[in-house]
Structure 1
Amino acid sequence: MLAYRVMRAFLRLVIRVFYRQVEVVGAEHIPQDGPVIFAGNHPNSLIDPVMIVATAGRFVHFAAKDVLFRSRLLRVFLDALGAVPIKRRQDHGADDAGGQVDNSAAFDALFEVLARGGTMGIFPEGISHDASQLSRLKTGAARIALAMAKRHPELPVRIVPCGLNFIHRRHFRSRVLVQYGPPIEIDAERIAAHDADERAAARALTDDIDQAIRALTVNAPDWSTLRVLDGVRRLYQPPRIPLAHRVELARRFATVYERVRDEPEVVGLFGRVKSYLERLTDLGISDGDLSRPPRPGAALLGGLRQLWWLFVWLPLAAPGVILHAPIGILVGWSSQRFTPRKDVIGTTKLLVGVLMVLLIYAGLITTAALTWGLAVALATAAALPLSGFATIRVLERTASLRRLLTRVVRAFSLRREMAELKSERAALEEAVLDAVERHIPDDMQPLYPERLAAR
């Protein structure tokens, strides 16, 4: 338990550094006692369980594919987190042979965790992926829950759905929304159905889990469709909305689009938004450049503010840039060189970055202790993370200043093109609001209804 608490605190620190914003919604749905199975989508490899461990507030044991335990470094990490190795057919050649693998020991370990009133986490998709929607869920989570409820009818077994929504999931200092939904309880009716037909009951429960996870995530047939729908979302929303509202709007547009995609009006609007976004890309501008164009006075004040904070952080960041720049270069290179799949890039960046920082910090602190004594070593241990934080702040302020200058330059150099696009955007905004009024389901309350009422 102590190792888990230490590791969880460390992981919370890591994700707070790696991500600019981590927002948690629905934590009140997590039962504070009794057996719980966390079941989530799996878009970002090993970062996904890290997110749940760091935000769930309970000791979560994850079922992890056994091949991960072959790495000594990962094994130490996984053991500290109480992970349980589980065999997958595709990792042991059983898929091609049509055979099975023996996971009885793994299931017994998970049953023991749940029987003690503990929690476990599982990703029913089975493997991390970079698709634009959920894969077909496997029945493992449902089978564990049903078997556990049958073994221990005195315990309330619940499945808590998790939605992991990453904004630019491969980017350092991006944002992530972690959502927990209402728990699915394994009641007497489900147990009776399991007694009658185990396979059908497991599939029915899996379908319920699928719907619960979809209610917390954004799903579309392909990335091209998702990009256009994200453009529709920006045309509808007011400026600067919370991350949770951004994801919820995107989810709603994706859900309703699947129902009305063949309507002639929707087909035409989809094509217009797609053409609008393509022209933005061709000109190198964003929708925000049109919806929130830089005003000279505001741009000047914003630039001065960024410069002020840049100079505030620069003295602390100066040694940090020299130290951390090679780490950043190595992380960027390794994430492209050693990651065959896009969904693993974020994990590679995080693992390589953490490993390099720990090694360099340990080396410098040890050198300071051996050369100048304990007092200097302690001062070095305090100065290194402070300098690293200052480096991040300087890089962020520099990026913000560069974006501001770029927006100002484009606003002047592309005046004619941007004027045309502003007119097109205004027309598209009206068309989107019309479509929302016409096609929003009766049982769906609109987000930002004032956008519709003000017309």
Structure 2
Amino acid sequence: MDNLVLHRVIRRMAKLALAGFYSEIRVIGEENVPRDGPLIIVSTHHNMMIDPSVLSSTFPHKRPLHYWAKSGLFVNPVAGYILKSAGNIPVDRKSKDNKVLFKGTFDCLAGNQAVALFPEGTSYTECRIMQVKDGASYAALEYTKWIGQNENKSTKPPTVVVAGITYTNKSKYRSRVAVEFGPPISVERYMEQFMSEKEGESRAAAKRLTRDIEQLMIELTINAKDWETLFAARIARELLWESSPLDLDAFVSASQTLVDLFSTPDMGPDFENMKLQLLAYDSLLESSRFTNSDLAALKLPSALDPRRTITVPSRLWTLLTLLRDTVATFFWLPLFIFPLLIHLPVYITGRVGGKFAENEEETQAQNKIVLGFLLTLNIYSTLFLGLWWLFSFSITGGILAFTSIWGLSLYHRKIIDENYSRIKRMIAAWRVLVGVWIPSRWDMSLPSLKPYTTPFIPPVSPWIGRVNPADLKAEEAAFNAKRKRPRGPPSRRLVRHVLNARLNAAQALGAVLRDIEKSGLNVRASSHLARQFGGKVEERDIYEENGSKDGVLSLREPSGWRAAKEVVAFLREKGAKIGALEEIPDNDWAVVSSDGEGEAEEQDDKKEDVVWVQNHT
């Protein structure tokens, strides 16, 4: 522990940086992590250096984590000391002898320390767990074999604990994070097979352990068969929990339930149409830079309804009222403007940093957090020196300056969430107001709208060990099409389309959930959720090996079923407002023409336009 000074400093700094970007980081399953003894943590890895930062800063019992690093980096004595002080251990990747390969790991575990590994081998953005390699399994099994051969009674076999890190939106400012630790895995039940002299048995034992690790990684995260299913489940979740965010304790299970539901085949035309409506709405939100939560919070005054006969002075008075509320938003807390201006360069820098990795989502948060944190340190240091200078560099002045800067940081963090949301809602209200009041002929035509109602499929990560060639070709084609897509139109030309899509998606989702609740059908379910909620599990091997040298495994489709009635009841229990989907009025003035046309002929044209969008998305 005395040699981990730098690790503790970095862990503290990471905790501060993460708290400034994410609004909440929830730790679940802390009781599954032993307080002492040799420990191997295997974690999901989908957000670059943010993942080890989250894992280390939230790890239960404040146990330090040791990460693998190339042994060549430790050759220089100074670099070696820094790396070891930061908690890194050397790994000789070129060695074919596992005892040499894992020597640093053995030394660490022999000292009853914790080693953290990312068995996926790299950070990537995909709709599911794509690969899990055998390195963690071999490290655990070889160490257990080593202590048995050396009769080392000062330590015991390591415990393997799987961690799933789930981001509500990993690259979005003030989003949330759930870190869940699964039940511990005992290595000893694999040792008899691993120690067998029969050819291939040791490799088979490592594969068994890898499969169990992968299964837990899947259970602790959200996995979909394709991006469209994941996107449909995401926007459905936002519609069902738009009045209050889904609790992080239930975020993974509720999200996976929706993913499984939308993976159910042969559910009929209404079900397929509902998925298309959800995807169209999700894509339009992305193109228009609106969010569903902002639209749900809008309370535009009825006096602005262009269909009503209201005098011009009344309309002007309402507009003045909205203007007054806008001004009040900025000055609701007098001191908010000051910390906002102080931190404005940080926000701008973070936004620019995200643009540098526009097509690599797993890198965006890293750029935003690192650049933002470094700039924040510079700003705070400058303010501290300025205040200290005012106090003539006295000891008392230094204490007062430090206390003032620390208080400013705490105050800004405390008020940012509410004010950030209020400003976003205010901006959204004005954007919607402009969009519904401009002449309808300025709206984007339906044929030209098609590219913006099609979901963007992220590019395949080149670091994934094995990808189906057909999927790779299709996803690369989709990515190239995205790169050639023209720049999105001004949001004012999309406002009515977005509001119509929101209305259609909400009503379609509500109708489908009510229908399947009464149907008595069974719907698809991941095997662990089917077991947990009394469903059925197909008895088959859900894994398939590819025979590759890297020992990568892949998972097939969901292998269980749950009763549709039970699924809907589960969603309601977790806070889903299914009935609220009916409360979105189908005659909301914001989705009609701004010129006040209400003739039946135009309404029929609008219905035909909606049908056209449904048939072409």
Give the TM-score range, shorter chain: 0.7 to 0.9
Matched, 1:48 2:47: no
Identity of aligned residues (%): 24
Within 5 A, what are the aligned runs for 1:413-424?
414=436, 418=499, 421-422=502-503
The answer as to whether partners of 1:306 and 1:397 remain within 8 angstroms in 2 is no
Within 5 A, what are the aligned runs for 1:126-275?
126-152=121-147, 155-187=156-188, 189-196=189-196, 197-235=201-239, 239-240=243-244, 241-255=246-260, 257-258=262-263, 260-261=264-265, 263-264=267-268, 267-275=272-280
Q: Which secondary structure state, in structure 2, belongs to the residue aligned with residue 330 of structure 1?
A: helix
The letter of the residue matching 1:249 is A
- Give the gaps of 5 or more residues in structure 1: 90-99
Alpha-carbon deviations, 1:27-59, whole Å to 9, x = none? 111112222111111011111111111112222
CA distance in 1, matches of 2:372, 2:79: 15
CA distance in 2, matches of 1:120, 1:203: 20
Structure number having the greater helix percentage: 1
CA distance in 2, matches of 1:73, 1:408: 56
Change (3 A) 1:87 1:229: farther
Structure 1 position 81, deviation (Å): 3.3
Q: Which secondary structure state, in structure 2, belongs to the residue aligned with residue 152 of structure 1?
A: helix
Which residue is equivalent to 2:508? 427
Q: Which secondary structure state, in structure 1, belongs to the residue aligned with residue 195 of structure 2?
A: helix
Which residue is equivalent to 1:315? 335
The letter of the residue matching 2:393 is G
CA distance in 2, matches of 1:412, 1:355: 38
The answer as to whether partners of 2:277 and 2:505 remain within 8 angstroms in 1 is no
Structure 1 position 147, deviation (Å): 1.3
Structure 1 position 224, deviation (Å): 3.4
The letter of the residue matching 1:44 is N
Structure 1 position 274, deviation (Å): 2.3
Matched, 1:438 2:438: no
2:393 to 361, 373, 396: 373
Q: Which secondary structure state, in structure 1, belongs to the residue aligned with residue 120 of structure 2?
A: coil
The letter of the residue matching 2:124 is H
Which residue is equivalent to 2:30? 27
CA distance in 1, matches of 2:289, 2:348: 25
Change (3 A) 1:290 1:88: same
RMSD: 4.1
Q: Which secondary structure state, in structure 1, belongs to the residue aligned with residue 521 of structure 2?
A: helix
Q: How many residues align?
A: 440
Structure 1 position 17, deviation (Å): 2.0
- Give the gaps of 5 or more residues in structure 2: 303-317, 438-495, 534-566, 583-617
CA distance in 1, matches of 2:578, 2:360: 45
Report the TM-score when normalising by structure 1. Answer: 0.80
The answer as to whether partners of 2:91 and 2:104 remain within 8 angstroms in 1 is no
Structure 1 position 380, deviation (Å): 1.9
Which residue is equivalent to 2:67? 62
Change (3 A) 1:33 1:396: closer
CA distance in 2, matches of 1:303, 1:75: 60
Change (3 A) 1:395 1:449: closer
- Answer with 1 or 2: which has the greater Rg: 2
